[in-house]
């Protein structure tokens, strides 16, 4: 009887387990294995040990891509995350609060591809909205937003911010809604100003949600692919690639499968390290849905 129950309970888990195990977990280990080979996808793979990894240091494209990835993460923490927090604080209690919130929410309902296309148009040199808007204000500049090399990464990040700010705002608003008002009122009675109440009371009490937002935002910016691929293909001359795009290009355009696998392993190690904070929270059986 007891044994039958055990079997039944495993049967409930089996379909989910099999799908994930066969389609995700086995490939993951295979991918680590491939990263030790030189392989063009056709000829027999040649074992080269850690040479794919040591090549990172001498590969200029990789180094540019890695630098861009770090810029993406840093920029994400400043604009979509801190901006999301500030806007969450600003819009609370304003008239039309709901309207304002839903405006920042709109980009969440469309895909990264759509966002990329919309902003490609915004940034386009001749017909683009931004250059023409500048003209209206009397600035006769034809800025090449997407082909000018240090600028293009930041143009991509503007589009990214437009899309990502909303989700952080929503999360921070939820966090703010759970903060009890008593200590804040007490502090105000004791003569604390707005800035002080924020720094010493609101922000510390927001910490659980802040941890989650920061982790999620960092992980997402490490994984960012669609917007870059749609807007610049990582170009011109591979100047706006991040690691996720570089992996794709090395693997499926240049057919350096082993090297691509090594980049994805490297990226995974970073992402897992960052999300360790999140996993630690989860292991404490927090029930965060997002």
Partner 1 sequence: MRRNIQKIPLYFIVVVLVFIWILPVWTTFLVSFKSAEDFVNQKFYQMPTKISFLDNFKNVMQKYRLHEHFLNSLLYATVGSGIAITTASMAGFSIIRLKPRFNFLLFIIIYSGTLFPFQMYLIPMYKFFNTIGLYDTRLGMILIYAAICIPFSLFVYRGFYTTIPKEIEDAAKIDGCGPLKSFLYIFLPQSIPPTAVVALFQWTWIWNDLLFGMVLTRSREVRPIMVALASMSGYAGGVIPLIMTGVIFTSVPTILLFVLLRKFFISGMVLSISNE
For partner 1, the binding residues in 144-163 under the rule CB under 8 A are 162
**Collapsing DSSP states into helix, strand and coil, what is residue 37?**
strand
Preceding peptide of 236 cis, ω within 30°? yes
**Can you spell out the DSSP letters for 88-144?**
HHHHTT-TTHHHHHHHHHGGGGS-HHHHHHHHHHHH-TTT-HHHHHHHHTT------
Number of other CB atoms surrounding residue 1 within 10 Å: 4
Q: How far is the CB of 255 from partner 1 (least distance, A)?
A: 11
Which positions from 7 through 46 interact with partner 1, judged by CB under 8 A?
Answer: 8-10, 12-13, 15-17, 19-28, 30-31, 34, 41
Report the alpha-carbon distance of residue 261 to residue 64 in Å, rounded.
18
Q: Is 264 near partner 1 (CB under 8 A)? A: yes
Which positions from 267 through 286 interact with partner 1, judged by CB under 8 A?
Answer: 267-268, 271-272, 275, 279, 282, 285-286
Which positions from 115 through 144 interact with partner 1, judged by CB under 8 A?
Answer: 116-122, 124, 127-129, 132-133
Binding mask 224-263 for partner 1 (x = CB under 8 A): -xx--xx-xx-x--------x--xx--xx----x--xx-x
Q: How far is the CB of 95 from partner 1 (least distance, A)?
A: 8
Which positions from 59 through 118 interact with partner 1, judged by CB under 8 A?
Answer: 87, 90-91, 94, 100, 103-104, 106-114, 116-118
Among residues 18 and 63, whose Cβ is nearest to partner 1? 18
Which positions from 187 through 226 interact with partner 1, judged by CB under 8 A?
Answer: 208-209, 222-223, 225-226
**Collapsing DSSP states into helix, strand and coil, what is residue 285?**
coil
Q: How far is the CB of 115 from partner 1 (least distance, A)?
A: 8
Among residues 100 and 200, whose Cβ is nearest to partner 1? 100
- Length of the chain, in residues: 290
Among residues 106 and 186, whose Cβ is nearest to partner 1? 106
Report the alpha-carbon distance of residue 144 to residue 166 in Å, rounded.
27
Among residues 19 and 78, whose Cβ is nearest to partner 1? 19
The region that residue 285 occupies, defined by phi over 0 for left and psi between -120 and 50 for alpha, beta otherwise, is: left
Q: How far is the CB of 257 from partner 1 (least distance, A)?
A: 6
Which of residues 64, 170, 201, 214 is near partner 1 by CB under 8 A? 170
208: which 2 tokens? 């659980």
> Which segments of the chain does DSSP mark as H helices, in order?
2-20, 26-34, 51-55, 60-76, 84-91, 97-105, 112-123, 129-136, 149-178, 182-189, 194-197, 203-205, 207-223, 226-231, 243-252, 257-283
Q: How far is the CB of 57 from partner 1 (least distance, A)?
A: 20
């Amino acid at each position: 009887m007891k044994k039958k129950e055990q079997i039944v309970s495993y049967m409930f888990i089996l379909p989910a387990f099999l799908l994930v195990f066969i389609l995700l977990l086995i490939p993951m280990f295979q991918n680590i294995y491939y990263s030790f080979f030189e392989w063009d996808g056709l000829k027999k793979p040649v074992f080269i040990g850690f040479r794919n990894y040591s090549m990172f240091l001498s590969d200029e494209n990789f180094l540019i891509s890695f630098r861009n990835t770090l810029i993406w993460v840093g920029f994400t923490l400043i604009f979509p995350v801190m901006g999301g927090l500030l806007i969450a604080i600003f819009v609370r209690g304003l008239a039309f609060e709901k309207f304002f919130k839903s405006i920042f929410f709109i980009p969440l309902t469309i895909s990264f591809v759509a966002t990329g296309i919309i902003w490609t148009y915004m940034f386009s040199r001749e017909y683009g909205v931004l250059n023409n808007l500048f003209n209206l204000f009397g600035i006769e500049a034809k800025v090449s937003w997407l082909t000018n090399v240090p600028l293009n990464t930041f143009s991509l990040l503007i589009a990214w911010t437009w899309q990502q700010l909303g989700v952080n705002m929503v999360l921070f608003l939820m966090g703010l809604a759970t903060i009890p008002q008593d200590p804040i009122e007490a502090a105000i009675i004791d003569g604390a100003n707005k800035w002080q109440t924020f720094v010493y009371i609101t922000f510390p009490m927001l910490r659980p949600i802040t941890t989650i937002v920061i982790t999620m935002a960092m992980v997402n910016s490490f994984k960012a692919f669609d917007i870059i691929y749609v807007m610049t293909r990582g170009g011109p001359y591979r100047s706006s690639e991040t690691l996720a795009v570089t992996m794709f290009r090395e693997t499926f355009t240049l057919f350096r499968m082993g090297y691509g696998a090594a980049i994805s392993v490297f990226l995974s190690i970073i992402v897992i390290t960052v999300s360790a904070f999140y996993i630690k929270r989860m292991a404490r059986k927090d029930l965060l849905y997002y």
